[in-house]
């Protein structure tokens, strides 16, 4: 927690015991690496719950400018921007289908970061560190490797049993991992998105996210580089998702995101890199 957030300690300790021991499956700490391309994918989810203070810190020391409607701000509870952080103290849990969207301007002139607040029964965010991904000098070389894998179906490795990682739209479309190639801590996952009926429009995969727990218990999440290939036929679209895991990563999961909704993380079975 940043030094500027220490003033919250008396407030947190003053919460009723029942609130401080809120019935949640997991009080999680996360590091979110956001895409360097503004506006890619749906807003990032933050899971909040009454009785739990969620502290979101950014990689800028400036006081963030919160952009949310006054009605939603009043209805939700306390949203307190401080130096480099945003503290969320909800006074109620959000409904199962309720989502509160907000934008946070971290630096003047920068693109606002988009978030959506939800309440999840299985987990609540205790602390979230948000960083923006920086373009890498090796990005183009990585994309060339991905395109080579897509262009050589006969040489493409395959899993004995493909892993289904998402279903979309009442099971009209599905996504699965056909293969995974590891180069040290970098992975190349071949994805196939299938439409079960030719007359249906293909599902638009626009982002793949990677999640893995680190040795200190923090959940690390980041977008993978996504390279699309030609359609095998009118019902299958293939992609390569690639990324580099941090040191000490284990238990890798992938989530496939559409334009309107975030996908659900599913385990990616693998040998340790």
The whole model's pTM is what? 0.78
Q: What local confidence, expressed as pLDDT, does residue 218 receive?
A: 95
- Parse the chain into domains and list their residue ranges: 3-132, 139-267
Nearest to 22, CA basis, from 80, 87, 72, 89: 89
Q: What local confidence, expressed as pLDDT, does residue 168 receive?
A: 45
Q: What local confidence, expressed as pLDDT, does residue 228 receive?
A: 84
Q: What local confidence, expressed as pLDDT, does residue 116 receive?
A: 92
- Token pair of 226, please? 């996504």
- Answer whether residue 14 shows pLDDT above 70: no
Q: 180 or 168: which carries more pLDDT confidence? A: 180
Q: What local confidence, expressed as pLDDT, does residue 25 receive?
A: 53
CA–CA separation, 186 and 208 (whole Å): 15
CA–CA separation, 212 and 248 (whole Å): 9
CA–CA separation, 171 and 177 (whole Å): 17
Domains 3-132 and 139-267 belong to one CATH topology? yes
H helix or E strand, kind and range, residue 72: helix 70-76
Nearest to 70, CA basis, from 105, 100, 34, 31: 100
Nearest to 187, CA basis, from 132, 237, 253, 135: 253
Average pLDDT of the chain, as a whole number: 78
- Answer whether residue 211 shows pLDDT above 70: yes
CB 128 within 8 A of CB 45: no
Give bridge partners of residue 180 from the DSSP assignment: 189
Which tens digits make up the pLDDT trace of 242-273?
888 999 888 889 988 887 778 888 887 655 44
- Answer whether residue 217 shows pLDDT above 90: yes
| 97-133 b/e (C-beta count within 10 Å ≥ 16 → b) | eeebebebbbeeeeebbbbebbbbeeebbbbbbbebe
Give bridge partners of residue 196 from the DSSP assignment: none
**DSSP output for 116-166:** EEE--SS-EEEEEEEEEPPP-TTHHHHHHHHHHHHH-GGG----SSPEEEE
Q: What local confidence, expressed as pLDDT, does residue 199 receive?
A: 67
Q: What local confidence, expressed as pLDDT, does residue 47 receive?
A: 95
Which tens digits make up the pLDDT trace of 127-167?
999 998 776 655 667 777 777 777 765 545 544 444 555 55
The end-to-end CA distance of the chain, in Å, is: 31
Give bridge partners of residue 80 from the DSSP assignment: 87
Nearest to 34, CA basis, from 265, 178, 210: 210
CATH code at 3-132: 2.60.40
Q: What local confidence, expressed as pLDDT, does residue 273 receive?
A: 42
Q: What local confidence, expressed as pLDDT, does residue 182 receive?
A: 83
Q: How confident is the model at residue 27 (pLDDT cuts 50, 70, 90)?
A: very high
Q: 33 or 26: which carries more pLDDT confidence? A: 33
Which tens digits make up the pLDDT trace of 31-83?
999 886 666 678 899 999 999 999 999 988 888 888 887 777 777 888 899 98
Which tens digits make up the pLDDT trace of 88-102?
999 999 998 899 989
Domain 139-267, CATH number (from 2.40.128, 1.10.405, 3.30.70, 2.60.40) = 2.60.40
| Residue 17: Cβ-neighbour burial (10 angstroms; 0-12, 13-18, 19+) | exposed
* CB atoms inside a 10 Å sphere around CB 68: 16
């Amino acid at each position: 927690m940043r030094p500027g957030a220490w003033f919250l300690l008396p407030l947190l300790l003053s919460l009723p015991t029942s609130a401080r021991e809120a019935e949640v499956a997991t009080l999680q700490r996360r590091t979110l690496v956001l895409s360097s391309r503004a506006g890619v994918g749906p807003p990032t989810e933050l899971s909040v719950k009454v009785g739990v203070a969620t502290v979101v810190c950014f990689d800028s020391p400036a006081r963030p400018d919160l952009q949310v409607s006054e009605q939603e701000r009043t209805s939700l509870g306390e949203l307190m921007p401080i130096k480099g952080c945003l503290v969320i103290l909800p006074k109620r849990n959000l409904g199962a289908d309720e989502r509160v969207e907000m934008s946070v301007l971290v630096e003047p002139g920068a693109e606002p970061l988009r978030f959506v607040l939800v309440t999840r029964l299985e987990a609540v965010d205790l602390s979230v560190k948000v960083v923006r991904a920086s373009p890498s000098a090796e990005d183009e070389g990585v994309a060339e490797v991905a395109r080579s894998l897509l262009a050589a179906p006969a040489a493409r490795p395959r899993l004995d049993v493909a892993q289904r990682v998402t279903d979309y739209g009442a099971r009209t479309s599905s996504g699965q991992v056909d293969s995974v190639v590891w180069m040290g801590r970098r992975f190349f996952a071949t994805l196939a998105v299938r439409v079960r009926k030719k007359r249906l429009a293909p599902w638009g995969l626009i982002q793949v996210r990677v999640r893995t727990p680190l040795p200190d218990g923090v959940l690390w999440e980041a977008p993978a580089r996504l390279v699309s290939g030609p359609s095998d036929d009118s019902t299958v679209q293939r992609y390569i998702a690639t990324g580099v895991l941090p040191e000490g990563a284990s238990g890798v999961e992938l989530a496939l995101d559409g334009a309107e909704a975030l996908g659900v993380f599913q385990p990616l079975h693998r040998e340790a890199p």
